A and B are shown apart, each in its own frame.
Chain A
Amino acid sequence: MAEGRRPGLQREGLRFFGAVGAGLSHELSNVFNIINELSGLQQDIAAAAQAGGAGIARLSELAARIKSQVARGEEINRSLHRLSHSVDEAEEVFDLGDALALFGALAARPARLAEVELALRPPADPIALSGDPFALLLALHACFKGVLGAAESGRRVEVRTESVAGRVRVVLASADPVPGLGSDPALASMLDLACAALGAVARSEPDGRGGGSVILELGAGSGPGTGDP
């Protein structure tokens, strides 16, 4: 993608960044709050142990729980880091599986809050794409928000990749009907800009069983396409 296409994405990109950054920041706060309580509990147990209670085994168990929260915090921070660097280059070669993994990490919180299971099916082999990785994240975010908004609590949304006639597409499939992509003007605007930057095309279609999908066709257009794996 040419650098000149970036300005059109900036406003939508900032909205996406704001929403996702706030979510990740909240998740990190959760981690810090848990560590804070676990550390307070350690102090309480240590005080009780000094007073004659048996607390050594509990202290060791709490240390393991703190360690697991630190690992969780690091994972969240890694996603934040990768998201931040996704705007570094307006055009680069990147792996679709990596981009989907990052999208999955970013989408986990909104899915959890909507009580929807997000099932990510990454491609079995690396798929090299040439283009703007941030525009792909933006497009996936807009597609997912549309699908999530229509999904009922307790349902599952599956995200998978398919290769059709040499082109790669990402399918976001839901057991619930998916509304038309123009039904939410703000999301439609975000998706239009992202697709234009990617040279991609998005559409929604029913699955014939009461559910529906949003399909993001990559490499369909004059912009970037699939590169060599």
Chain B
Amino acid sequence: MPADRVLLVDDEVSFLEALAERLRMRGLEVVCAKSGREALAEVENQVFDAVVLDLAMPGLDGIETLRRLRQLQPELQVMILSGRATVQTAVEATRLGATDIFEKPTEVDTLVQRIRSARAARLAREAETTQQHIDEIMRSKGW
């Protein structure tokens, strides 16, 4: 079975590298992006089970990045991992489809558990979509 794939987005490179290494040590495949723009480019080219996204970043902030990520892939599982998620930004992130809001520092094993759940949710949705396509084809053929 392939590893869970996660895109980690944070402008603090030292934080990004350390967390990525810890996730890799737990068997995850990790791609790092240092900005919202880099994250969008990665999501255009690859499939991820989950995205873990910081909020306060130069250029595109986390909320704007989340908005654009969900426009690119409406089913994408995006989790917020931020040091200062206010109630207002948390509500906005949830409204835009973020599945979890984690406050730094967070337990890495909790994060891994949620990423693995995100993968299971993605695979379940894909199976459901495939079944719907099959049902439509069968109906259209009168089978």
Contacts and interface: CB of A to CB of B under 8 A. Distances in A.
B15 A29 contact: no
Nearest to A113: B58
A222 B44 CA distance: 61
Nearest to B81: A33
Interface string B1-30: 000000000001011001101100100000
B58 A115 contact: yes
Contact of B108 (A29, A33, A40): A40
B14 A34 contact: yes
A30 B108 contact: no
Contacts of A65: 14, 18
A33 B36 CA distance: 20
Contact of A34 (B15, B25, B84, B108): B15
B33 to A, nearest CB: 15
Contacts of A29: 83-84, 104
B142 interface: no
Interface residues of B, number: 17
Contacts of B84: 26, 29
Contacts of A38: 14, 18
Nearest to B56: A26
Interface in A187-223: none
A130 interface: no
A153 interface: yes
Interface string B93-111: 0000000000011001000
6 contacts: A30-B12, A33-B12, A33-B104, A34-B18, A37-B15, A112-B58
Interface of A: 26, 29-30, 32-34, 36-38, 40-41, 44, 48, 65, 69, 112-115, 153
CB-based closest 8 A-B pairs: A37-B18, A36-B105, A29-B83, A33-B104, A34-B14, A34-B15, A115-B58, A113-B58
